[in-house]
Amino acid sequence: MNKKKGVPRAIPSKTKKAGKTLEQLHEKRKDSDEENHYRTLLEHLPIGIAILCEETIEFINQSGARMMGAKDPKEIIGSNFLKYIHPDSRESTLGRISKILSGESVSTIEQKYIRLDGKIINVEVSGFPFTHQHKPAIQVIIRDVTEQRETRIAVKKSETLFSQLFQVSPMAIVMLNSDGTVGNVNQSFENLFGYSFAELRGKELNQTIVPDTLRSEGNDLNTLISTQQVVRIETKRIRKDGALMSVIIYGLPIHFEDRTIGIFGVYVDITEQKKIEEELKIRNTELDNFVYKVSHDLRAPLSSVLGLVNLANLPGNDDNLKDYLKVIGNKVKQLDHFITDVLSHSKNLKLEVVIEPIHFQQLIDQTFFDLNYLKGANEIKRSVIVEGVQFFSDRWRIGEIIRNLISNAIKYRDFGKENPEINLKTSVTEKQAIIRFSDNGIGIGPPSLQKIFDMFYRASDQSDGSGIGLYIVKNAIDKLEGHIEVVSELGQGTTFVIQLPNRIPQLVQ
């Protein structure tokens, strides 16, 4: 019975032992299946997975191998991982490995790796502690961000180029949001209109730079641009200090996914250009009048001379030819004076301003001497006062101003007064010269007083002058950046007050 009982006891013992072995095999197979499943998963991941142990690459998946320029992971497995780390990143990599192996967590960083073909790529790297064949190791997750980085750099470069172009553009540019409020302005815009970006941010331009009379135009312009039309308009805008400017506005809609998300407004200041255009219009009108007047005033004395010559040649004419010569002489003088005035006008327009010392007393005395040939010049009583510091300006233009004023005073003296006179006082400071010129001549009536500086205007028939003298005076004063005022009363006389800047600072520079 003992034997019979022992066999069963033995059998159960063996069965128990065999059962344990089967369980272990099952667990081992289970582990193997999980490992295979894990490996399959790693192989199909679109990111690089590698296991590093003692600076050796023990495992790398297919994606990681392709990322590093290998066709098969076997080309990389077993090699030292440092050969794939760019020199710029090696020191930081070794430091991260040391931290991971010591149990510290590290953040994901961007590094440079070197592929098998030598190409440098940018990768995003994460590292975690791992156990490989009972040894401490590191599992590395690698994601190639080269294209993403290049795209990011390209976007940043585009943004930088746009930002610099926007900010350094010599034209004033404003960027409006989709609701028409100010989103940004460049430095040129701030300089042109006098507003800072902080003052304009979030506001509509109608509240700041658009004149009240053009508010509707500003609204219509925004509406037109927002319908995806490029607009060019010439209009007026107002600076912060209240100055009105002429501008050309270019409105360009900003599109994104078939929507207008904003507006670029480009402003070109044409204020000076408009002034020049207006001046050209005036000059063209003056030129037309000038040509007509010159042709008339040149032909009139010539016709008189020709008429006298024909009279002298008539058969039987026994007139005294000396009388003819006297008349011809006067007409030639008249013609010469007119040509002199025309040349002075032309010279005043073309010549640059030349700064030099002005000796008023000497200049005035010389002018009286030069005009002594005029009829009645010797009858004029004159008073000249010059006081103050040295004056610097354009001597030729100052001479033209004084010459024409004295000449007119002589021509338009009051024949009914026994003592015609000219009073001339010049006071000079370091900033300016004030020339006060007065006479007791026939004076100028209110209707004519507004026109005396017009070309070829004659306020009186008492003189047969060209009518261009005071026009030359006004233009010369304008060239010298001065100012002239006139007060006159019929039968009492005329007073001119001229202010001219003393150009000492410019001379010193």
Q: Name the more confident of 146 and 387.
A: 387
CATH at residue 55:
3.30.450.20
The per-residue pLDDT for 20 is 47
Is residue 117 situated within a structural domain? yes
Residues 315 and 429 in one domain: no
Among candidates 486, 365, 375, 472, which has minimal Cα distance to 420?
375
What confidence tier does 365 reach under pLDDT thresholds 50, 70, 90?
A: very high
Is residue 152 situated within a structural domain? no
The per-residue pLDDT for 9 is 37
Among candidates 496, 498, 470, which has minimal Cα distance to 483?
498
Instruction: Report, as an integer, the average pLDDT of 140-169.
Output: 83
Is residue 123 situated within a structural domain? yes
Q: Outline where DSSP puts E strands in 9-98.
A: 48-53, 56-60
The per-residue pLDDT for 279 is 81
Is residue 163 situated within a structural domain? no
| 18 pLDDT higher than 80 | no
The per-residue pLDDT for 349 is 65
The per-residue pLDDT for 509 is 41
C-alpha–C-alpha distance, residues 486 and 348, integer Å = 21
The average confidence (pLDDT) of the chain is 81
The per-residue pLDDT for 114 is 93
Q: 438 and 493 in contact (C-beta within 8 Å)?
A: yes
Q: Give the relative orientation of helices 395-411 and 360-370 as an angle to the nearest 10 degrees.
A: 50
| 393 pLDDT higher than 60 | yes
Q: Name the more confident of 40 and 486.
A: 486
377 lies in which domain range?
351-509
Give start and end residues of each alpha helix (H) in 357-497: 360-370, 395-411, 446-449, 469-479
Q: Name the more confident of 499 and 453.
A: 499
Is residue 1 situated within a structural domain? yes
Q: Name the more confident of 428 and 292.
A: 428
Share of the chain above pLDDT 90, in %: 29
Question: Which of 217, 252, 269 corresponds to the end of one domain?
Answer: 269
- Joined tokens for residue 89: 């990143």
Is residue 24 situated within a structural domain? yes
Q: Name the more confident of 405 and 327.
A: 405
Residues 369 and 472 in one domain: yes
Residues 321 and 379 in one domain: no
The per-residue pLDDT for 458 is 63
Is residue 158 situated within a structural domain? no
Question: Which of 269, 287, 321 corresponds to the end of one domain?
Answer: 269
215-245 pLDDT, tens digit each? 787 777 667 666 667 788 899 999 999 999 9
The per-residue pLDDT for 162 is 75
397-446 pLDDT, tens digit each? 898 899 889 988 998 888 888 889 999 999 999 999 999 999 999 888 88
CATH at residue 293:
1.10.287
The SS3 of residue 57 is: strand
CATH at residue 383:
3.30.565.10
Give start and end residues of each alpha helix (H) in 45-145: 62-67, 87-101
C-alpha–C-alpha distance, residues 63 and 42, integer Å = 9
Q: Which residues contact 151 (CB under 8 A, 6 or more apart)?
A: none
**Displacement of CA 119 from its chain's centroid (Å):** 45
The SS3 of residue 431 is: coil
Residues 374 and 321 in one domain: no
What confidence tier does 160 reach under pLDDT thresholds 50, 70, 90?
A: confident
Residues 80 and 19 in one domain: no
Residues 358 and 336 in one domain: no
Residues 206 and 182 in one domain: yes
| 301 pLDDT higher than 60 | yes
Is residue 156 situated within a structural domain? no
Please, what is the end-to-end C-alpha distance for the chain in angstroms? 138
The per-residue pLDDT for 253 is 82
What confidence tier does 11 reach under pLDDT thresholds 50, 70, 90?
A: very low
C-alpha–C-alpha distance, residues 177 and 216, integer Å = 19
Residues 409 and 489 in one domain: yes
Exposure on the CB side of residue 398, measured as CA atoms within 13 A:
26
C-beta atoms surrounding 158 within 10 Å: 10
Residues 295 and 426 in one domain: no
71-93 pLDDT, tens digit each? 999 999 999 999 999 998 888 88
Residues 60 and 28 in one domain: no
Residues 204 and 298 in one domain: no
Domains identified in the chain, total number? 5
C-beta atoms surrounding 108 within 10 Å: 10
Instruction: Report, as an integer, the average pLDDT of 365-372.
Output: 88
C-alpha–C-alpha distance, residues 399 and 27, integer Å = 120
Q: Name the more confident of 264 and 4.
A: 264
- Joined tokens for residue 6: 């022992």
188-204 pLDDT, tens digit each? 999 999 999 999 999 88
Q: 61 and 43 in contact (C-beta within 8 Å)?
A: yes
C-alpha–C-alpha distance, residues 350 and 342, integer Å = 13
Residues 393 and 339 in one domain: no
